Amino acid sequence: MTNLTFFFLLMGFFVVLSINKFIKMSVNKQVKRVTTHTLQEMKQNNEKIAMLTAYDYSLAKLVDGAGIDVILVGDSASNVMAGHETTLPITLDQMIYHASSVVRAISRALVVVDLPFGTYQGNSKIALDSAIRIMKESGAHAVKMEGGEEIIESVKRIVSAGIPVMGHLGLMPQSIYKFGTYVVRAKEDEEADKLKKDALLLQEAGCFALVLEKIPAKLATKVSQLLHIPTIGIGAGSGTDGQVLVLHDMLGITTEFSPRFLRRYLNLADEINNAVSQYITDVKSLDFPNEKEQY
């Protein structure tokens, strides 16, 4: 074989490799609307799932337009939008209000809505009623619930009514008063074993995906390999099938919350402060409005 033939063979190999990579990367680009089925395909194709929270029409429109796969109308709205210390106070009516605003904005992303604290823990009938209200009144595509074994009956009942359920294990903010702190969960074997067992139970019960919050990266990778449904991590390392962040945290609108796992892509708090200060100066100095800005 001449050097030239070898060179062309090598080039051919790399071209095939790149085409393969492109084909594998393209699942979410091919779809007009992201569905639970799309997420399953993305896992099979090793294509990571990008999820962000949104709670209102304007930001949801921007996030959807940028090509996000999943929008979570999280009960973190309780902290971010309403200023509560925990996620516990937010009500089903408030979640439906946020979710319907988001649904009106999106044209492509899958919209998942948190069932808030107290609306599914009672029994599976209460859980189903809450899930049905979210689906009917907001037009969202799926619900999310925190917990393992203890909520399995409710998950099964909701799934059998045709409503897709996303699970949530690890740090579960609705149980913060049981945990007592927001530190990393499942560092010890006993809790890690329970988490793995719960993950399998949720998968068997019909969950289409699972959020893993603030657990060791090694454990999250293991769980992701164990399951055929996609896992979406927050503070769970790079071995999960996708990542989720709270939009206001990653945009730097909220500043008081700075965990290690949070990457800030913007510093909007400073930007907004500068803009508002400038506006105040302009109004007070009669610079605004100028001749062109009036009728």
**What are the residue numbers of the active site?**
213
Asked whether position 53 contacts ligand KIV by CB under 6 A, the answer is: yes
Q: In angstroms, what is the minimal distance from the CB of 248 to ligand KIV?
A: 10
Applying CB under 6 A, the span of 37-45, 72-80, 101-109, 254-262 interacting with ligand KIV comes to 72-80
Beta carbons of 246 and 211 less than 8 angstroms apart = no
Query: Shortest Cβ distance from residue 110 to ligand KIV (Å)?
Result: 14
Largest CA distance in the chain: 80
234 near ligand KIV, judged by CB under 6 A:
yes
In angstroms, the CA 220 to CA 242 distance is: 11
Complex with ligand KIV: residue 62 or 280, whichever CB lies closer: 62
Separation of alpha carbons 271 and 78, rounded Å: 24
Amino acid in the structure at residue 242:
G
The distance of closest approach from Cβ of residue 155 to ligand KIV in the complex, given in angstroms and rounded to an integer, is 16
Residue 20 vs 255, nearer CB to ligand KIV: 255
Judged by CB under 6 A, which stretch of 11-19, 30-38, 74-82, 115-123 contacts ligand KIV? 74-82
Residue 75 interacts with ligand KIV (CB under 6 A): yes or no: yes
Q: Among residues 219, 246, 250, 251, which is the contact residue for ligand KIV, using CB under 6 A?
A: 246
CB of 139 to ligand KIV, least distance (A): 19
Number of residues that bind ligand KIV (CB under 6 A): 11
Q: Does 74 bind ligand KIV (CB under 6 A)?
A: yes
Dist. CA 28–CA 41, nearest whole Å: 9
Neighbours of 171 (CB within 10 A): 23
The CB-side HSE value for 272 (13 A sphere, CA atoms) comes to: 10
- Contact between 244 and ligand KIV per CB under 6 A: yes
Question: Per CB under 6 A, which of residues 207..226 are in contact with ligand KIV?
Answer: 211, 213
Whether 71 and 54 have beta carbons less than 8 Å apart is answered as: yes
Q: Which residues contact 113 (CB under 8 A, 6 or more apart)?
A: 72, 73, 95, 99, 134, 138, 140, 142, 143, 144
User: Among residues 35 and 86, whose Cβ is nearest to ligand KIV?
Assistant: 86
> x/- binding map, residues 80-119, to ligand KIV, per CB under 6 A?
----------------------------------x-----
How far CA 264 is from CA of 6, 75, 154, 171, 241, in Å, comes to 46, 21, 36, 21, 21
Radius of gyration, alpha carbons of the chain: 22
CB of 78 to ligand KIV, least distance (A): 8
Q: Please return the burial class of 84, using the count of CB atoms within 10 Å of its CB with bins 0-12, 13-18 and 19+.
A: middle
Least distance to ligand KIV from the beta carbon of 16, Å?
Answer: 38
Binding site for ligand KIV (CB under 6 A): 53, 72, 74-76, 114, 211, 213, 234, 244, 246
